[in-house]
């Protein structure tokens, strides 16, 4: 629970607690806090058990930690044998190379020898369109005036 609290922080919390509650009330406060934490844990455990019983026998081994997306994905990938195929597919796909080929095709440059162009822009009247030229956009409709009473 407190695995990320260092020694200096713990000493600071103890000194602060002594200053706030005083040395004579501090044991009573610690007992009350520990009793409260114990009740919250019992409530949480009973709620989890109730949910498991309501879900039925199919979910007997259900763990609430599996609802964390990282844990869920890790668990699914560990049991999946198709992961090797995914790594193989990923190694054959080079996004930078594909983007460079598309940029070369758009700019009209030749691609390196042995590589086919990734995409050839459509031609209009026998000439390649200038994709960097500003396209004519249809005029946007006029916005209605702001009505503060409507919001």
- Mean pLDDT, to the nearest integer, of 141-145? 77
Q: What are phi and psi of 84, to 5 degrees?
A: -65, -40
Domain residue spans of the chain: 1-58, 63-111
Q: What pLDDT score does 129 carry?
A: 57
Q: What pLDDT score does 60 carry?
A: 74
Q: What pLDDT score does 38 carry?
A: 97
Most confident of the following: 41-55, 90-104, 132-146: 41-55
Q: What pLDDT score does 128 carry?
A: 56
Residue 77 has pLDDT above 60, yes or no: yes
Most confident of the following: 28-42, 92-106, 123-137: 28-42
User: pLDDT digits over 13-69, tens only?
Assistant: 889 988 998 889 989 999 999 999 999 999 999 998 888 888 888 877 778 777 788
- Mean pLDDT, to the nearest integer, of 77-104? 75
Yes or no: say if 118 and 110 are a contact pair by the CB < 8 Å rule: no
**Number of neighbouring beta carbons within 10 Å of residue 133:** 7
More confident residue, 56 or 139: 56
The Cα–Cα gap between 66 and 51 comes to 14
For the CA atoms of the chain, what is the radius of gyration?
A: 32
State how far the alpha carbon of 38 is from the alpha carbons of 24, 35, 115, 150, in Å. Answer: 23, 5, 67, 51
SS3 127: strand
Residue-averaged pLDDT of the chain: 77
Which letter does DSSP use for residue 36 in this model?
Answer: H
């Amino acid at each position: 629970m407190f695995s990320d609290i260092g020694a200096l922080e713990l000493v600071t919390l103890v000194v602060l607690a002594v200053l706030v509650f005083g040395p004579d009330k501090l044991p009573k406060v610690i007992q009350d806090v520990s009793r409260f934490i114990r009740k919250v844990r019992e409530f949480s455990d009973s709620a989890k058990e109730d949910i498991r019983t309501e879900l039925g026998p199919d979910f007997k081994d259900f763990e609430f930690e599996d609802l964390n997306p990282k844990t869920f994905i890790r668990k699914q990938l560990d049991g999946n044998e198709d992961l090797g195929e995914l790594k193989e597919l990923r190694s054959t796909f080079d996004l930078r190379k594909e983007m460079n080929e598309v940029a070369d095709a758009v700019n009209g440059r030749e691609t390196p020898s042995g590589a086919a162009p990734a995409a050839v822009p459509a031609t209009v009247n026998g000439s390649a369109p200038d994709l960097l030229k500003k396209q004519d956009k249809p005029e946007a409709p006029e916005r209605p005036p702001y009505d503060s009473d409507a919001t």
